[in-house]
Amino acid sequence: MTRSTTRLLAKTTSQLSSLSSRTPQQSIRPFSHTCLRRQDEPPAPLARPSLLASLSSSIQSRPPPPPRSSGASGNNMSSSMDDIRKVLATNTISRAMGQPQQGGSDGEGGEGGATPGAENWGPAHEPFHFHIYSHKHNTHITVTKPDRGAIVSLSAGNIGFKKSKRGTYDAAYQLCAHVLDKLNQGGWHRKITALEVVLRGFGTGREAATKVLLGNEGRLLRPHITKVSDATKLKFGGTRSPRPRRLG
What is the predicted pLDDT for the residue at 208?
96
What is the predicted pLDDT for the residue at 113?
39
What is the predicted pLDDT for the residue at 2?
72
What is the predicted pLDDT for the residue at 218?
93
Residues of the chain with pLDDT under 70: 1, 14-78, 91-118
CA dihedral 10, 15, 20, 22 (to 10 degrees): 140
What is the predicted pLDDT for the residue at 152?
96
Nearest to 119 by CA among 131, 107, 101: 101
Query: Helix, strand or coil for residue 141?
Result: strand
Residues 141, 131: Cα–Cα separation, whole Å: 6
Query: Helix, strand or coil for residue 142?
Result: strand
Residue 130 Cα distances to 24, 122, 146, angstroms: 126, 16, 11
What is the predicted pLDDT for the residue at 151?
95
What is the predicted pLDDT for the residue at 5?
74
What is the predicted pLDDT for the residue at 10?
74
What is the predicted pLDDT for the residue at 116?
44
Residue 160 Cα distances to 141, 168, 178, angstroms: 15, 13, 12
Residues 70, 79: Cα–Cα separation, whole Å: 13
Rama region for 228: left / alpha / beta (φ>0; ψ in -120 to 50; rest): beta
